[in-house]
Copies of this chain bind each other. A is one copy, B any other.
Amino acid sequence: MKNPLLDDRDLDFQLRAVLHADALLTLPAFAHVSAADLDAMLSTWRRFARDVLLPTYRPMDEQPAVLRDGGVVCHPAMKALWPQLVDLGAITASRPLGVGGQQLPLTHVTAGTLYLMAANLSANGFAGLTLGAGHLIEAFGSDALKAELLPPLYEGRWTGTMALTEPQAGSSLADVRTRATPTAQGHFLVSGAKLFISGGDNDFVENVVHLTLARLDGAPAGTRGISLLAIPKKRRAADGSLVANDVKVTGLIHKLGWRGIPSAALAFGEANDCHGYLVGEAHQGLKYMFQMMNEARIMVGANGVATAAVAYQQAVAYAKDRVQGRPPWAKDPAAPPVRLVEHADVRRQLLRQKAIVEGGTALVLRTAHLADLAAHAAEPAQRHDTERLLSVLTPLTKTFPAEKGFESCALAVQVHGGYGYSSEYPVEAWLRDQKLNTLHEGTTGIQGLDLLGRKVVADGGEGWRALARAVEAGCVRAERASVPAEWTRGVREIAGVLEEATLALAGKALEGDVPGMLLHSADYLDAVSTWVVAWLWLEQAAAVHEAPLRTAFHEGKLRAAQYWLATELPRCRQLAALCVAGEDSYAQVPEEGW
């Protein structure tokens, strides 16, 4: 039976035929891993996601965590799920052997994680946050801090959070106010309030460690004065026991989706007894956080893909099952009605979802693959080059699945008709879940500024050139595989259009007009994403042409590639024109004109 979460055929195709991802196993870092190990991992995660996680999704959506006696009470299902997620490797699969991880390629771990996210993004969220917190300590913490915090986090005895956002500052981390005052004992006394802290507390492990951005006494203003501290809910007393650390959950946020994982408001140090432990050096907090951000943003993209994927699978299953109506040209009212999947406009809605979901999957896996190469490639030059391309692709990987995935989930609802609007079917919940992905870990607006204002123009345009080279390599592959020539031509033409636009925009900045350069950063992000996904559809088409046998699955791939290249790619021209022309409508609205 077909997997209701993601199309197994697609994941296998993308990993093997498109990416040749098993070639990563030739790298020294993965000498201990065999292809069979990776198959077994993927197969175990798939089974667990489908059989264990998915059945808990709806109950957790319907019964969110509550605050009781100062502590967060999660859905009871989490007590049983958590040790299973830990055993599965949901926290440590990609971490090094030396810290108790399995040191598997991020590419394959990301593929497996797509299933966990598709099945129950909230349950997996606790694991992802614990991984993120652990990874920060692993990368930047002192040996003492690592010894104290890494084992309980990576063994799943404790969970972790990322505590960045404050009520008054939102995305503007330069305005973080949480204060940390040094003490003679080496720890800091922390006071401040954090908001929207996912997994901010729970009742299924004994402790929670908050990786927190704060400002040491006397720190410079702005982002250069932000430090990273580990603040546990309970700290270790002199006798080794765990005692309360003056971390208070002041409220839970009722929210549109992700209802299985609490989003908390936290207060540190209301009793002036909250100990924090500096991670790495003072004032380097934002730098540390952003070194982890690539991975966090890939995971947001993965979440967008996973949520759109499970909604798409459900829509396909429904459209193949539900018999309703006749084609508009059918004149005989006694003729039997047909299945939804036979109506042209339903097919349009399904193929658009497929193009978004599988195009997004290609983007997320490609980015994870670059992260593997950037970390583990044998040659320093290759590590440098892949790191460069990775940094350019990251804002796209974060945003495309989030923005288009929301549209895709809305189409999945639409395919279900009135039933899609009811909670009898889960599609409405996935639509609610998906909206968060355009907001957290940097909004879409912030990703646009990151792409255009930083990434493509870095080092005199090296960022852009790295991307252009990668796309051209895909075009060459497609030509060799005899993909229809007009498809490759389309991608190359838009490459030229966008290169010209990028140059023109960079020119504005050089002339001192940074606002003019950035005015259409959202359109630029949209155009580059659309083109990059077109490139990845071209690569998928190439992989189909390279295959010895042509299946119905392959045929569907070619039609989705055709769809994206014919209907979406041409939009890039107009978006580029808006960027270059500096169309100024929204710049010019007067205060009372809204």
Contact = CB atoms under 8 A, between A and B. Distances in A.
A165 B175 CA distance: 54
A78 interface: no
A406 B410 contact: yes
Interface string A297-333: 0000000000000000000100010101111110001
A99 interface: no
A478 interface: no
Contact of A583 (B172, B326, B566): B566
Contacts of A453: 328
A62 to B, nearest CB: 9
A100 interface: no
Given A254-B422, A553-B593, A586 B570 contact: no
Interface string A209-242: 0000000000011111100000000000000000
B586 A344 contact: yes
A349 B448 CA distance: 13
Contacts of A578: 566-567
A418 B566 contact: no
Contact of A344 (B169, B253, B515): B515
Interface string A432-467: 100110111001110011000100000000000000
B439 A344 contact: no
Given A333-B221, A344-B515, A346-B445, A593 B432 contact: no
A76 interface: no
A351 interface: yes
A145 B465 CA distance: 76
A185 interface: no
A255 interface: yes
B414 A438 contact: yes
A142 interface: no
A350 B428 CA distance: 26
Nearest to A575: B567
A288 interface: no
B422 A435 contact: no
Interface stretch (A12-20, A35-43, A516-524): A516-524
A388 interface: no
Interface in A252-266: 253-257, 263
A563 B586 contact: yes
Given A417-B443, A418-B440, A443-B414, A587 B555 contact: no
A468 to B, nearest CB: 24
Given A253-B422, A514-B329, A345 B448 contact: yes
B567 A583 contact: yes
B570 A585 contact: no
A165 B418 contact: yes
B345 A521 contact: yes
Given A334-B222, A351-B586, A423 B255 contact: yes
A350 B522 CA distance: 13
Contacts of A562: 583, 585
Given A170-B324, A346-B445, A414-B443, A592 B552 contact: yes
Interface in A542-556: 551-553, 555-556
A571 interface: yes
A420 interface: yes
B585 A333 contact: no
Contacts of A165: 418
B570 A347 contact: no
B348 A552 contact: no
A333 B586 contact: no
A397 to B, nearest CB: 19
Q: Which A-B residue pairs are the 7 nearest by beta carbons?
A: A222-B333, A556-B593, A552-B592, A172-B325, A345-B445, A563-B585, A347-B586
17 contacts: A170-B324, A170-B419, A221-B334, A222-B333, A253-B424, A320-B594, A328-B449, A344-B519, A344-B587, A417-B439, A418-B440, A432-B432, A553-B592, A555-B588, A555-B590, A563-B585, A567-B585
Given A171-B325, A553-B592, 4 more contacts: A222-B333, A345-B522, A410-B435, A563-B586
